Amino acid sequence: MNAITNTATASQPQSDIEKIKARQKATWEDGDYADFATYMHAGAVDILQNWDLESAQSILDVGCGSGQTAIPAAKKGLQVTGIDIAANLIEHARKAAARAKLDVQFDVGDAEDLPYADQRFDAAISLIGAMFAPRPEQVAAELARVIKPGGQLFMANWTPASMPAQMFKCVSEIQPPPSGLVSPVLWGDELTVQQRLAEGFTDIRLTRKIYPQWHYPLNEHELVDLFRHKFGPVKRAFDAGTPAQQTALREKLVQVYRNNSERKNGILTITGGEYLEVIATRR
């Protein structure tokens, strides 16, 4: 994540890919992402409402986390299936759906190997989720495989200029990504996305937007503490760092959050949450 590279991972041995996925799974299961994501929930609902899902009956949410978009979609009367690599987040999503008395299927699984039949869904969505799988070409192929012809794909992916991309760069100075791993934020680059989706999709519409309603009742230093304890990638970097590295990382993250936010009346609003909205039609 520390460099924007389009180096393919397809040539890597399967054993290396499995190690990468095991590391990613452990990272996203660390901390408490379900609680962390509550600060982003209102924005997730706003993004979902702007996607035209009314004509779809069956929806697949790839990288669904603890259900931030799957559950609101189910509340709209849609038949929703959510899948995520993190087992603890899927368990949280199941419990949340049960509390809301919603019939949502949540599965632990891999965006590169979706356990569903061909042309199973009317639409697929991914809010800052599928972009983190290590082999994007396989993600694109799997998304195309499970969506019906004429069905829609909706994605929101951090751009290379976004606050999260800046944050991941800081994290990578302590925990570098595996050699040859494709940068996740290339899913936020227009030319790259066009190339990845061209075979399976048409009418590809790409729009840069700012993540809405991203607020914290915290200052920049307190926000570092939240990320350090709740957000797996940042938590793991702090846990792996020496005291000197931890101090340096804290200072860099404070600056990243300060440069990408506004603070008013005790509320810090992230203004640097730039993402690429992807809307495409299955061929």
Tell me if 246 is assigned to some domain.
no
Q: Is the pLDDT of residue 6 over 60?
A: no
Token pair for 131: 């972009």
Its pTM stands at 0.95
Tell me if 209 is assigned to some domain.
yes
Q: Which domain holds residue 121?
A: 14-161+177-215+273-282
Tell me if 21 is assigned to some domain.
yes
Reading phi first (left if > 0) and then psi (alpha if -120 to 50, else beta), residue 238 is in alpha
pLDDT digits (tens, 9 = 90+) for 84-94: 999 999 999 99
Count Cβ atoms below 10 Å from residue 74 Cβ, excluding itself: 22
Confidence of residue 1 (pLDDT cuts 50, 70, 90): very low
Tell me if 262 is assigned to some domain.
no
Please give the tally of structural domains in the chain: 1
Tell me if 189 is assigned to some domain.
yes
Tell me if 236 is assigned to some domain.
no
CATH code of 97's domain: 3.40.50.150
pLDDT digits (tens, 9 = 90+) for 139-154: 999 999 999 999 999 9
pLDDT number for residue 7: 37
pLDDT number for residue 11: 57
pLDDT digits (tens, 9 = 90+) for 158-181: 999 999 999 999 999 999 998 889
Tell me if 127 is assigned to some domain.
yes
pLDDT digits (tens, 9 = 90+) for 17-61: 999 999 999 999 999 999 999 999 999 999 999 998 988 899 999
Quickly list H helices, 51-135: 70-75, 87-99
Tell me if 251 is assigned to some domain.
no
